[in-house]
């Protein structure tokens, strides 16, 4: 066995921070995530560097904020030769393998530093470019057009999976991860495994009988403050329209959405338990650094809104659990703000590795936990210029600015943890709000990132809003490999 620890990185997509039973959710069942809480450290003020899939993952693998990567949305990651943390681990003698969703751009087949990958993406262009879809068709599921749930019109309509539990996307991720762990058990070479689930990303499609795990009458209602409309920004309105949730709120549907969302998380939790068991059975558990986190959260009806791309905690605050008994105590909570950008320097410290192509914005989680770091704030950034949303958050407060609305937000996280009252430009809060805004702007100025700035202030852009026509802006998705033809019907004018 190597003197360097293995690294198991378990990642979910669109999972809120408040979805772990051991951290205060009285409804959800997550016995295996609860085990990680009990045996490790839970970082409860963890935030995404960008509340959308591609830019969050880009920041994560390079250890940099979006204003340094140049990736602010579901757009292209840099192709300038900069090293990922996987490149650095390779150079330090690790075998690096990725299983599941990577969402790499512009080349979706790129390794980005992984020595090998087993792919499962949401919308592959053809069957043979996606390992999971290839597997699924070999099992006789060629007739299924939407293996991850029906998108667009049913994007936020809960639905039982069309695929049996033993072939479900999350089960496949668990199966392939266990196979990798078992095969590496006798190797002297340390390994890094990226186990990446698409769930609980919508559509919410748990397999039978998991979709009955939660009754809709038992789940909690969304958080909708009295003045919820004043807490929305352009991206909230645009997402509601795009995700077919712009024509009013049906609380019964929202509760059903939440029940199925919880069910997909519990099914992922079941896979986590299977993976932990494989580490135990092969004698690798305590020599493996384990981290569980997500790219971003999901509004899930809070503020009568859905989706991500928001700086409210529902979308920006993420679960962040670390187990490593050799260096971290059990059953500890760390409230210092952390970010996905902190994973790269942490992994590099474990491997005695380094990145030479660029400077890292993140900090070592061991330093943060041990309070040898002066970290007290992290930032987040979605899109740029006239669409940009920019956030700074500390343990005590949160500030964000939405350029298309020319609107500032400030929340007192101690007195108002549900973010129900915007205190920006409010008497007695304006000094604190201005101070956090200035710190955020200073971060951008020091990096010479001036796109959203005009001197020491935010640059003014035209106000934006969604079309008054309620049918404009819908999202429509089809899988290019699927056969949607119904003879005698789809060919009629």
pLDDT band at 479 (very low <50, low <70, confident <90, very high): confident
Task: Express each pLDDT in 307-343 by its tens digit.
Answer: 999 999 999 999 999 999 999 999 999 999 999 999 9
Task: Express each pLDDT in 351-377 by its tens digit.
Answer: 999 999 999 999 999 999 999 999 999
The model's pTM is 0.96
* Predicted local confidence at residue 228, as pLDDT: 96
Residue 283 pLDDT > 70 = yes
* Predicted local confidence at residue 331, as pLDDT: 98
Residue 493 pLDDT > 80 = no
In a domain, 46, yes or no: yes
Long-range contacts (CB closer than 8 Å, 24 or more residues apart) made by 427-430: none
CATH code for position 237: 3.40.720.10
* Predicted local confidence at residue 492, as pLDDT: 80
Residue 152 pLDDT > 70 = yes
* Predicted local confidence at residue 89, as pLDDT: 98
- Please tell me the total count of domains within the chain: 1
Tell me how many degrees the CA angle 132-138-139 measures, rounded to the nearest 5: 90
* Predicted local confidence at residue 372, as pLDDT: 97
Q: How far apart are alpha carbons 469 and 60 in whole angstroms?
A: 38
In a domain, 448, yes or no: no
- CA distances to 26, 276, 278, 287 from 282, rounded to whole Å, are 33, 10, 6, 11
Three-state DSSP string of the chain: CCCCCEEEEEEECCCCCCCCHHHCCCCCCCHHHHHHHHHCEEECCEECCCCCHHHHHHHHHHCCCHHHHCCCCCCCCCCCCCCCHHHHHHHCCCEEEEEECCCCCCCCCCCCCCCEEEECCCCCCCHHHCHHHHHHHHCCCCCCCCCCCCCHHHCCCCCCCCCCHHHCHHHHHHHHHHHHHHHHCCCCCCEEEEEECCCCCCCCCCCCCHHHCCCCCCCCCCCCCCCHHHHCCHHHHHHHHHCCCCCCCCHHHHHHHHHHHHHHHHHHHHHHHHHHHHHHHCCCHHHEEEEEEECCCCCCCHHHCCCCCCCCHHHHECCEEEECCCCCCCCEEECCCEEHHHHHHHHHHHHCCCCCCCCCCCCCHHHHHCCCCCCCEEEEEECCHHHCEEEEEECCEEEEEEHHHCEEEEEECCCCCCCCCCCCCCCCCHHHHHHHHHHHHHHHHHCCCCCCEECCEECCCCCCCCCCCCCCCCCCCCCCCCCCCCCCCCCCC
Residue 1 pLDDT > 70 = no
In a domain, 148, yes or no: yes
Q: How far apart are alpha carbons 294 and 344 in whole angstroms?
A: 15
- Report the mean per-residue pLDDT for the chain: 95
How much is the average pLDDT of 100-129?
95
- CA distances to 7, 318, 372 from 329, rounded to whole Å, are 18, 21, 16
In a domain, 320, yes or no: yes
pLDDT band at 476 (very low <50, low <70, confident <90, very high): confident
Q: Are 86 and 192 in contact (CB under 8 A)?
A: yes
How much is the average pLDDT of 245-266?
93
Residue 442 pLDDT > 90 = yes
Q: Who has greater pLDDT, 89 or 489?
A: 89
For residue 237, give its domain range.
6-376
In a domain, 319, yes or no: yes
Q: 95-100 and 338-339 as β-strands: parallel, antiparallel, unpaired?
A: unpaired
117 burial (CB, 10 Å; 0-12 / 13-18 / 19+) is buried
Residues 6+ apart with CB under 8 A from 186: none
Residue 282 pLDDT > 80 = yes
pLDDT band at 2 (very low <50, low <70, confident <90, very high): confident
In a domain, 118, yes or no: yes
In a domain, 469, yes or no: no
How much is the average pLDDT of 163-168?
97
Q: How far apart are alpha carbons 136 and 127 in whole angstroms?
A: 9
In a domain, 473, yes or no: no
Q: Are 33 and 272 in contact (CB under 8 A)?
A: yes
Q: How far apart are alpha carbons 469 and 37 in whole angstroms?
A: 47
Could you tell me which of 284, 229, 276, 239 has the C-alpha nearest to residue 420?
229
């Amino acid at each position: 066995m190597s003197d360097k620890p293995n690294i198991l990185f378990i990642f979910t997509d669109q999972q809120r921070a408040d979805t772990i039973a051991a951290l205060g959710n009285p409804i959800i069942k997550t016995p295996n995530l609860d085990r990680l809480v009990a045996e490790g450290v839970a970082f409860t003020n963890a935030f995404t560097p960008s509340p959308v899939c591609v830019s969050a993952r880009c920041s994560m693998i390079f250890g940099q904020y979006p204003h340094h990567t140049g990736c602010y949305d579901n757009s292209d990651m840099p192709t300038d030769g900069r090293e990922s943390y996987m490149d650095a681990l390779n150079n330090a003698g690790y075998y690096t393998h990725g299983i599941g969703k990577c969402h790499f751009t512009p080349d979706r087949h790129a390794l980005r530093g992984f020595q090998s990958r087993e792919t499962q993406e949401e919308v592959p262009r053809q069957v043979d470019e996606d390992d999971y879809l290839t597997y699924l068709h070999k099992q006789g599921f060629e007739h299924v057009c939407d293996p991850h749930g029906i998108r667009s019109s049913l994007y936020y309509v809960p639905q039982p999976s069309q695929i049996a539990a033993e072939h479900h996307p999350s089960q496949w991720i668990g199966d392939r991860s266990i196979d990798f762990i078992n095969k590496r058990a006798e190797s002297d070479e340390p390994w890094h495994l990226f186990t990446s689930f698409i769930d609980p990303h919508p559509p919410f499609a748990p397999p039978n009988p998991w979709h009955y795990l939660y009754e809709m009458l038992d789940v909690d209602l969304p958080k909708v403050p009295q003045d919820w409309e004043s807490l929305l920004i352009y991206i909230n309105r645009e997402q509601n329209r795009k995700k077919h949730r712009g024509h009013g709120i049906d609380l019964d549907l929202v509760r059903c959405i939440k029940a199925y969302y919880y069910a997909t998380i519990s099914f992922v939790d079941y896979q986590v338990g299977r993976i932990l068991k494989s580490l135990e059975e092969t004698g690798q558990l305590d020599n493996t650094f384990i981290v569980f986190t997500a790219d971003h959260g999901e509004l899930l009806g809070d503020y009568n809104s859905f989706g991500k791309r928001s700086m409210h905690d529902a979308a920006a605050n993420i679960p962040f659990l670390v187990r490593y008994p050799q260096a971290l105590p059990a059953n500890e909570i760390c409230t210092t703000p952390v970010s996905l950008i902190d994973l790269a320097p942490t992994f590099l410290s474990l491997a005695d590795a380094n990145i030479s192509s660029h400077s890292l914005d993140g900090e070592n989680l061991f330093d943060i936990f041990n309070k040898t770091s002066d970290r007290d704030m992290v930032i987040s950034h979605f899109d740029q210029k006239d669409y940009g949303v920019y956030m700074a958050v500390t343990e005590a407060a949160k500030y964000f600015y939405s350029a298309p609305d020319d609107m500032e937000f400030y929340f007192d996280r101690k007195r108002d943890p549900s973010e129900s009252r915007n205190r920006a430009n409010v008497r007695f809060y304006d000094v604190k709000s201005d101070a956090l805004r200035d710190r955020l702007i200073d971060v951008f100025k020091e990096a010479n990132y001036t796109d959203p700035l005009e001197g020491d202030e935010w640059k003014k852009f035209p106000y934006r809003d969604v079309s008054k026509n309620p049918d404009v802006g819908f999202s429509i998705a089809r899988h290019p490999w699927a056969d949607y033809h119904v003879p005698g019907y789809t060919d009629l004018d």
